[in-house]
Chains A and B, each alone.
Chain A
Amino acid sequence: NAGVMQNPRHLVRRRGQEARLRCSPMKGHSHVYWYRQLPEEGLKFMVYLQKENIIDESGMPKERFSAEFPKEGPSILRIQQVVRGDSAAYFCASSPLFSDDTNGYTFGSGTRLTVV
């Protein structure tokens, strides 16, 4: 039973390019959460999605960032016109239930984005 799969593991983009990060939740999980970990910082919540719905995007920067979780396929975190400050590790977590905080979350191995 595969865990949460994220790809690519490492992504290098030049300033101004677009970055697309993909997350496939665990089998049977329909709730996906994205977090960002900046160097020397804790993980920060970005967005919570269910299939075809954005439930809470309060942690997402207002510009250049978007997320989707289509009916078929992985969840995508998209960063347009990347800047050096976007360099970070981006983690995806999934859960089978809404607000499954009492059981904890399964995280993927992350995508490490480097903007040069």
Chain B
Amino acid sequence: TQLLEQSPQFLSIQEGENLTVYCNSSSVFSSLQWYRQEPGEGPVLLVTVVTGGEVKKLKRLTFQFGDARKDSSLHITAAQPGDTGLYLCAGASTGAGSYQLTFGKGTKLSVIP
């Protein structure tokens, strides 16, 4: 059974601060996706990383896929209140079942104005 551990579980920071959240596993994934989920809504895709060592930037968000494709990180620069939400990582398994995503439990981020 593949597991994805996200840390920290909760994070409360002041507006303007930087932060990093982590997504770790002992399993190799063919790709890893990051989603953000607002209360009462479904997950919204932020980015997909596919290649080991890949770095993708989305405005103030930087995503990195580990060289071994077992872990990933999300770094937010100068956080804003609009960044508040639940951040989920999800790994797609290698092989024929790659449609089946394994989700972490998420990091709940609160950015205080």
List, in ascending order, chain A residues with CB within 8 A of B50's CB: 102
Closest chain B residue, CB of each to CB of A112: B40
| Interface hits, B19-69 → A, CB 8 Å | 30-31, 33, 35, 40-45, 47-48, 50
> Are A48 and B88 interface neighbours, CB within 8 A?
no
B-side contacts of A63, CB under 8 Å: none
**CB under 8 Å from chain A, chain B span 55-113:** 88, 90, 92, 96-106
Q: How far is the CA of A48 from the CA of B45 in the complex (A)?
A: 19
Please tell me if the beta carbons of A101 and B88 are within 8 angstroms of each other in the complex. no
In the bound assembly, the distance between CA atoms of A110 and B31 in angstroms comes to: 24
Q: Determine which of A31, A56, A91, A106 lies in contact with B97 in the assembled complex, contact meaning CB atoms within 8 Å.
A: A56
**CB closest residue in chain A, given B46:** A104
Contact indicator B100/A45 (Cβ below 8 Å)? yes
* Cross-chain contact A105 with B103 (CB below 8 angstroms): no
User: Is A72 on the interface with B (CB-CB < 8 A)?
Assistant: no
Give the total of A residues in contact with B, Cβ under 8 Å: 32
B101 touches A107 (CB 8 A): no
Contacts of A112 in B (CB 8 A): 40
Shortest beta-carbon distance from A101 to chain B in Å: 3
B61 → A minimal CB distance (Å): 15
Interface residue from A45, A104, A110 paired with B41 (Cβ < 8 Å): A110
Residues 84-110 of chain A: 1 if any B CB is under 8 Å from the residue's CB, otherwise 0?
000000010001001111111111111
10 smallest A-B Cβ distances: which pairs?
A101-B92, A107-B42, A42-B103, A104-B45, A43-B103, A99-B99, A42-B105, A104-B48, A101-B98, A45-B100
Residues in chain A within 8 A of chain B (CB atoms): 4, 6, 31, 33, 35, 40-45, 48, 55-56, 58-59, 91, 95, 98-110, 112
